[in-house]
Structure 1
Amino acid sequence: MESKRPTPQPADESIPVTTRALPHSFGSAARFAKLLGHHPQLMVNPIPLRFQVRAIIAIFTLLGILFASWVSRLPAIKIELGASTSQVGLLLFGLAAGTIGGLMIARRITHRLGTQRSLAWSILIASTLIILLGLATSWGNIPLVCILLIFYGASLSCTDVTMNVEGARIERDLNRTFLPLLHAFYSLGNVVGAGIGWFVGVQGIGVFAHFVIIALIAIVIIVFAVPDLGSPTAESSPSTVATAQAQTSESRTEHATTIPAGHKTRLRRDYSLWMIALLVMFTAFSEGAGNDWIALAAFEGHALEQADSSLIYATFVGAMMVGRLAGGPLVDLFGRAVALYGLTALGIAGVALFILATEDVYIYVGAGLWGLGVSLGFPLGISAAANHPTESAQRVSMVSVFGYAAMLSGPPLIGFVGQDFGLLGALWSAAGALLVALAFISSVKERRRIREEVTVPSASESN
């Protein structure tokens, strides 16, 4: 009996080419290369969930390393560029502008390319840009560094949005809370990146060579990790991306533009929501100031060595990581408001101690207390804003806009002020922001009653 031959189909380049099934292999370079192609669709064996968990943890940690690598070498970068404090503020403004721009386009890119291809390309571009940043720094070209930082910030924020989308999907597959742990690994990446910055500073390795090493580490990690993130053919729907942006504390700015007009009116009249937004804004201002300026302030204001300045930054982000890991038990034991009152008070004391300290040990203690003080303001504010039965995503988006606006625009302003009053003097604004934040902490406690007070009408009642 003869079998019927399939009718030949005309070649059509618009139809994705499907290849023979590839065996699963964690970190397959061939599979990664296929992802970068125009037609990434492959027939793959199902990827075990434990491999997906391992891969997304690696991506979160890598993003922390990429950000910390730039910040931890800021003193050396300033020297190589011969830049003033206000010019460093301008560089940070370029990084902030690129980050905001990336947040605005990331959702569209993720939907178009899918999470795997988006992560592969955004991290690959960031790895290339950090090498170019090191090269431009060695040339002493401040305008070129500023331009490169715009694109570097955009690539990092695109990575941030996409990894949160993928993290939210894995969290749903695990059927348990997983995203807070991922953000702790991001903070761990900050610590690792700062540690590498300290080591290369001690060894006298230049910024360019350091950034080449970081780029190679990034490429190795994505080649091993990205192919294990779900199915290469799966593209994220708009609802998936929107949900992830609403549930995470790293990437939510672009989603704010999609709030329906009726919801916007109700949100503008929600007094308690405005209080939460202001709490997040002032806390995020202090967090951004520490992230971007603490290493340079230790180097210039306290005359520490470049390597020791990197350790100061590592102390700050390490304390933030500890605060976030301990945040859940603290909130369960004392409640959101009490936990924030205590940590914010520690943060104010930490900023003051860091500025006024005359001995190295107190500078480190101040940096640690500062990091603890700002560790939970943003995530707990987001948690309080989300505590609503019908408008959780819209409320989170509104609060996130306030937080990211302060976190990204605050450091450049500190740079301009520091040009006239000194960098340590300008950092008093970080303590002042936390002091103002104390006035709004009670708003997170009030949100506990929202679910009991707000009832969702049934279908019969709405008709």
Structure 2
Amino acid sequence: MSDRPWSGSIHSQAHQRERSSPISSHQITTKSWFYSVLGIYLVSGLSISAWLVRVPAIAQELNLSAGPLGLLLLTQTVGAFLSVSASGMVVMKLGAQKTLWLTFALMMVGGLGLAVGVSFLHSVLVAGIGLGLFGLGQATYSVGANVQGAAVERALKKQRMPLMHGCFSIGTVIGSIVGTAMTAVGVSVFWHMLSVYIVAIILVVLSLRNTRHEGEDIHPGTTGLMAIVSSDEGQGTFTIRHAWSEKRTVLLGIFVLGMALAEGSANDWVALALTDGYGASASVGAVGYGLFVAAMTTGRLLGTGLLNMYGRVAVMRVACILAVIGLGTFVVSPWIGLGMVAIFVWGTGAALGFPVGMSAAADDPFRASARVSVV
């Protein structure tokens, strides 16, 4: 890379950072880096499931029906939308590592703010602000994690993105099991979330100590939404605006939007749908959410082999059909047993959409950050 005319100042800055760091990126093996990125994804799943599994309890504590609860959950979505709109600039300016530190702190502050608002203040406003801050941090945290994931995937020269997102799903499974147990024994939302977040803080500190700079994907200190690129197409600049003008990138974004909707609607509503729609108990609602994230985990862990064997397009066609069948059956089924089966089919179908979309967006390392943020 040193023979490229633009690389000198960038790499000299990187070497200066490495000399000032207790552990240089050269001392971190690719294997350690990979395991650390898995930890970053695991923490994200734990942090989200800590409050998602308690949605029925949150609604009960704040005395919210489905409509006002939907508005409360919308604050997280608004925060995430605002965050991801600026994520390209943030990641390109700070680098993925610093971005992950900053956004993880926002997630912890927001999540604990939600817990305080629910358990102690019984305030919808405080809970909404907390959820908004959580969304603000989590969306850009995901972009940073995906940029790191794409970089380590290229370093390994193997497709590993579904496995990384599988670790996110493992985090949600662990979180749902813990949440179900906490719900069954009557632990408040605050003490449940605080205990999970203490574990998350320990994990993210250990993981981020062993990550590398993502190299050519992002150049910290670059002015504005611009990556310096050099490829067969020639040397130049590639901005967020350029990524928005690419038909392939926009279509990938629409695809991921649909799959994220299939996944996100389950995350937000499965537990409450089981309690309000099917008449199940809160603990059964938590089990239903756990079943969905278990299906997501299964799909992601098995998906890598299928993708390598059959390719992205064929696998995703089958996956999308499964997601539609599962979601449709869950909506119309009059029996909770069939509804539970539908949840598993739904989760299995929705599992690969997000990681496959991110991996496809990051195919070109020189344009990865801009494209990932757009998608």
Q: TM-score range by the shorter chain?
A: 0.7 to 0.9
In structure 1, the residue matched to 2:264 is 288
Structure 1 residues 306 and 118, CA gap change in structure 2 (3 angstroms)? same
Aligned-pair identity in percent equals 27
In structure 1, the residue matched to 2:55 is 74
| C-alpha separation in 1, matches of 2:48 and 2:370 | 28
Secondary structure in structure 2 of the residue aligned to 1:82: coil
In structure 2, the residue matched to 1:133 is 114
CA contact (8 A) 1:60 1:163 kept: yes
1:230 aligns with 2:212: yes
For 1:58, give the aligned amino acid.
G
In structure 1, the residue matched to 2:81 is 100
Secondary structure in structure 1 of the residue aligned to 2:209: helix
For 1:258, give the aligned amino acid.
R
| C-alpha separation in 1, matches of 2:270 and 2:203 | 28
Structure 1 residues 274 and 215, CA gap change in structure 2 (3 angstroms)? closer
| C-alpha separation in 2, matches of 1:106 and 1:296 | 31
For 1:150, give the aligned amino acid.
G
CA contact (8 A) 2:163 2:301 kept: yes
Aligned pairs for 1:56-67 (under 5 A) are 56-67=37-48
In structure 2, the residue matched to 1:153 is 135
| C-alpha separation in 1, matches of 2:193 and 2:142 | 20
In structure 2, the residue matched to 1:351 is 327
* 1:173 positional shift: 3.0
Structure 1 residues 212 and 375, CA gap change in structure 2 (3 angstroms)? same
CA contact (8 A) 2:179 2:286 kept: yes
* 1:377 positional shift: 3.9
CA contact (8 A) 1:198 1:311 kept: yes
Using the size of structure 1 for normalisation, the TM-score is 0.64
1:83 aligns with 2:64: yes
Structure 2 gap segments, 5+ residues each: 1-15, 228-237
| C-alpha separation in 2, matches of 1:71 and 1:214 | 13
CA contact (8 A) 1:115 1:235 kept: no
| C-alpha separation in 1, matches of 2:163 and 2:292 | 19
Secondary structure in structure 2 of the residue aligned to 1:313: helix
Secondary structure in structure 2 of the residue aligned to 1:303: coil
In structure 2, the residue matched to 1:250 is none
Counting matched residue pairs gives 342
Structure 1 residues 47 and 326, CA gap change in structure 2 (3 angstroms)? closer
Alpha carbon RMSD of aligned pairs, Å?
3.7
In structure 2, the residue matched to 1:118 is 99
Structure 1 gap segments, 5+ residues each: 1-17, 22-40, 244-254, 401-463
Aligned pairs for 1:40-439 (under 5 A) are 41-44=20-23, 46-138=27-119, 139-230=121-212, 236-237=218-219, 257-259=240-242, 264=245, 267=247, 279-331=255-307, 336-380=312-356, 400=375
| C-alpha separation in 2, matches of 1:124 and 1:110 | 15
* 1:346 positional shift: 2.9
For 1:136, give the aligned amino acid.
G
| C-alpha separation in 2, matches of 1:385 and 1:370 | 24
